């Protein structure tokens, strides 16, 4: 039976230095030759999915942690932050002196001083992920196509990420934006580096359900791969949920199967284990 394969990107398909293992490319290409469909299912917006990922050969993507669904170039669903919500977010972040970037399928749009404050944050993020030469990580290395002088009042946003000065910034964002969903990333609880704001009542599981309806496919034929807490709804929804060995304790505890780290050919090994290749 052919499967619908959903793969998170950061920490699953690529490592946290954006390195894409050759074994992962081989696994996906061979699986598609065997008749399986492969979609990335990521927090990234389409503008952050660079050519090296599309060049693998994919059937489509779920982006913005579930706000966007694309199948073979066709936009199946796209839920956006409204322009009024965007203006509210940008003005509030400016008032608090918080640097941020706006995540759109048309690009990543940085606040005025995001690069100035962001380099050290991205180094800390890379260090926490156990990467060598983390001190060389920069905003421009992490986000090579980021736009630094773009319009910030926009109507095409999937979500917004902002640098936390303290965890209270995240807690205050929950109160300030009851019409949006507030999360953090880059660490657990008060160790978080970023807050983010996105469309309410959206997650990767909702988007997979939307995709399956579009395809006329069954949930029983799905298999999902992830490494982080935000991937848990995806793994819970799909028939089989696979966690990466380098993933967090929570997702590994609930997964049906734990494979190796991304840089240790974890994706390829899991594809072999489940007879996808």
Q: How many CB atoms lie within 10 A of CB 117?
A: 15
Which among 105, 6, 107 has a CA at the least distance from the CA of 46? 105
Separation CA 162–CA 252 (nearest Å): 27
H-helix or E-strand spanning residue 226: strand 222-226
pLDDT confidence of residue 1:
76
Under DSSP, the state recorded for 190 is G
Under DSSP, the state recorded for 197 is E
Q: Is 87 exposed, middle or buried (0-12, 13-18, 19+ CB in 10 A)?
A: middle
As beta bridge partners, residue 69 has 62, 77
As beta bridge partners, residue 257 has 242
**CATH numbers and ranges of domains, the chain:** 4-78+202-273 (3.40.50.1000), 83-199 (3.30.1240.10)
pLDDT confidence of residue 188:
74
Separation CA 274–CA 54 (nearest Å): 24
Chunked into runs of 10 residues, the chain (277 residues) has average pLDDT values of 93 87 97 97 90 95 94 95 98 98 95 95 86 84 92 96 97 97 85 93 92 96 93 95 92 96 95 96
As beta bridge partners, residue 194 has 163, 185
Separation CA 91–CA 72 (nearest Å): 37
């Amino acid at each position: 039976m052919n499967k619908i394969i959903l793969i998170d990107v950061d920490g699953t398909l690529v490592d946290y230095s954006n390195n894409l293992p050759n074994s992962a490319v081989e696994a996906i290409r061979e699986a598609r030759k065997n008749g399986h469909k492969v979609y990335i299912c990521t927090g990234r917006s389409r503008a952050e999915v660079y050519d090296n990922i599309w060049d693998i050969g994919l059937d489509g993507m779920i982006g913005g942690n579930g706000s966007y669904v694309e199948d073979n170039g066709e936009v199946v669903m796209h839920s956006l932050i409204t322009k009024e919500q965007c203006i509210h977010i940008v003005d509030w972040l400016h008032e608090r002196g918080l640097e941020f970037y706006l995540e759109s399928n048309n690009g990543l749009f940085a606040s005025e001083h995001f690069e100035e404050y962001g380099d050290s944050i991205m180094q800390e993020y890379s260090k926490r992920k156990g990467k060598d030469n983390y001190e060389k990580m920069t905003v421009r290395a992490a986000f090579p196509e980021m736009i630094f002088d773009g319009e910030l009042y926009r109507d095409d946003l999937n979500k917004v990420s902002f640098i936390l000065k303290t965890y209270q910034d995240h807690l205050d964002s929950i109160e300030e934006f009851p019409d949006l969903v507030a999360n953090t990333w880059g660490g657990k609880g008060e160790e978080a580096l970023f807050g983010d704001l996105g469309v309410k009542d959206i997650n990767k599981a909702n988007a997979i359900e939307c995709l399956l309806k579009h395809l006329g496919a069954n949930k029983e034929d799905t298999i999902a791969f992830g490494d982080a807490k935000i991937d848990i709804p995806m793994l819970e929804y799909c028939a089989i949920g696979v966690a990466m060995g380098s993933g967090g304790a929570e997702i590994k505890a609930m997964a049906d199967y734990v494979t190796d780290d991304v840089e240790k050919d974890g994706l390829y090994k899991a594809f072999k284990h489940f007879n996808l290749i």
